[in-house]
Structure 1
């Protein structure tokens, strides 16, 4: 099966030296701007007063323009991120010179909020073959052959996607046609889910070529499993590096603020820089909702952190059950 994502981006694979890695290992995630409601802190200030489809389409395109101009070449969307695929598809069509952008999306959640922030339910999880076929067709209708990476959204240890051999066969067929297949994880048992996914094979070959997991200075529990995934040849994509805004400016813990003050850069850049220091981290996503946030996030690639500073940040790690319980209480805004 093809392994297109690392070659397209130039990321170092297992056994390669860091000298082969590109200057920019940052990607742009569209979770915060593809729909009017999300769980990031500070959204009241980040988004326009009227969060119409046209307003968020314009904001998404503004972010994509800024990201591309600053060297970002990976963009991450999902079926459940409202109209993120549609917005991205429109941008790609309007800018034919962006053929070097690697496009990833995810299936497994259906957006159900109806463009409202006060919906009782914003998304519904379904990892069945039927859901895959429906959502793959929807993604393909919007993105066509620009879709490079298709990921199962938020795999957990009890997900049927880990054991459904019919689903595995369908995903392997898509891989044989040139699509890179990956998975993302969420929840306090991310490490268990990653290791289970690494064991999934079709005809003796590993099914998955990428893994996207939550990792930040507050939630570090997946690190050993992500290192194993990297060593097995998967590209590791890190999401929620800002912990849904908990590591940004006014919300950041004091030790992070202290380290940021010594670097003369923002807490966000320092938090993301700590992830970039991990040898297994291939792509680190910015979830910026404004171009100012994006520019600040991208400063992470030039932040120098010494061992003492890294140790202070490592001390911020929470028990994963506590972290995910707190995340689950964040309101959709």
Structure 2
């Protein structure tokens, strides 16, 4: 398993990772960015913010860091940080290919990223990731696979990915959209020379969107490490925007809405790593409290009332503005 080092860690936060989607580029769909980020979102300002978060995360026991080619300069920021800390050999680094960042460091670009799961894009972005992260890259994931993705049927691409795996790179995939479960099951069936190609899956799961759970359990049983993204539903479960039920339970626990929301995910037996998408060190510290949240059956039953139909959830997510 690629996350064996995390499983062997002694810190209680070893199953919480840090995703860099919110700080690798000036524009994203998370709520509350006007308050979370510097007024001037220059490259240097977000590089500094990313490094602050990485320092704080590592100091508090986080060992998995997640980037992507489409997260602006997230790989660059992460690589800069790693290069100045060569002794940190217990870190696991993941990135993703399949989307190209096209906003040119603008928050009001007409198009922020373009999806393409072809072999040509893989080879181009693999070279780009390698130039920045080199042998520090442990996990490379196909970004946002859906059931109709050509990445699930392209045998030439599969062969190239298998070659990378044979050289020591762990190959995984992430999913998005209302048909995540179908995409996961289709990916589980992909083999090269009779062997499963993918060793990890990264999917959206949170108190509002739980539809992928059965398929993620199947993936876990098949030996894949499950990474959970968007546990805060792009800010919809954070304090200022959280539903009333979540606010009530947070008050009962004495911790933040975010810690409760992430604790729900940590309870799932198939969840290997749960990503924090924090944009500030204060948010990160609050997120990490999820490891000590103890929810009783009544609280879990009340939280279950928040679940939305997948198409409703993803339609609302698609309406969130880039800002």
Calculate the TM-score normalised by the size of structure 1. Answer: 0.95
Q: In the alignment, does 2:6 pair up with 1:6? A: no
Q: Distance in 2 between matches of 1:156 and 1:6?
A: 25
- CA shift at 1:97, angstroms? 2.2
Q: In the alignment, does 2:20 pair up with 1:30? A: yes
Report what 2:222 is aligned to: 232
Q: Distance in 2 between matches of 1:265 and 1:153?
A: 33
The structure 1 residue matched to 2:83, chosen from 66, 81, 93, is 93
Alignment of 1:247-266 (within 5 A): 247-266=237-256
- CA shift at 1:315, angstroms? 1.3
8 Å CA contact 1:113, 1:121 repeated in 2: yes
8 Å CA contact 1:272, 1:284 repeated in 2: yes
Q: Distance in 2 between matches of 1:174 and 1:89?
A: 20
Partner deviation per Cα, 1:53-85 (whole Å, 9 max, x = no partner): 000000000000000000000000000000000
Partner deviation per Cα, 1:214-238 (whole Å, 9 max, x = no partner): 0000000000000000000000000
Alignment of 1:313-332 (within 5 A): 313-332=303-322
CA RMSD of aligned residues (A): 1.0
Alignment of 1:37-76 (within 5 A): 37-76=27-66
8 Å CA contact 1:36, 1:117 repeated in 2: yes
**Structure 1 segments of 4+ aligned residues over 3 angstroms from their partners:** none
Q: Distance in 2 between matches of 1:292 and 1:23?
A: 18
Q: Distance in 2 between matches of 1:48 and 1:79?
A: 23
Q: Distance in 1 between matches of 2:299 and 2:309?
A: 21
Q: Distance in 2 between matches of 1:146 and 1:81?
A: 18
8 Å CA contact 1:34, 1:83 repeated in 2: yes
> What secondary structure, in the 3-state scheme, does the structure 2 residue paired with 1:130 have?
helix
Q: In the alignment, does 2:182 pair up with 1:189? A: no
8 Å CA contact 2:11, 2:61 repeated in 1: no
8 Å CA contact 2:250, 2:257 repeated in 1: yes
Alignment of 1:69-218 (within 5 A): 69-218=59-208
Q: Distance in 2 between matches of 1:165 and 1:204?
A: 13
- CA shift at 1:22, angstroms? 6.1
The structure 2 residue matched to 1:221, chosen from 193, 196, 211, is 211
Structure 1 alignment gaps of length 5 or more: 12-19
8 Å CA contact 1:157, 1:193 repeated in 2: yes
Partner deviation per Cα, 1:246-281 (whole Å, 9 max, x = no partner): 000010000001110100000000000000000000
8 Å CA contact 1:9, 1:22 repeated in 2: no
Report what 2:276 is aligned to: 286
Q: Distance in 1 between matches of 2:88 and 2:186?
A: 36
8 Å CA contact 2:259, 2:293 repeated in 1: yes
Structure 2 alignment gaps of length 5 or more: none
Calculate the TM-score normalised by the size of structure 2. Answer: 0.98
> What secondary structure, in the 3-state scheme, does the structure 2 residue paired with 1:315 have?
helix
8 Å CA contact 1:268, 1:297 repeated in 2: yes
Q: Distance in 1 between matches of 2:108 and 2:43?
A: 16
> What secondary structure, in the 3-state scheme, does the structure 2 residue paired with 1:79 have?
coil
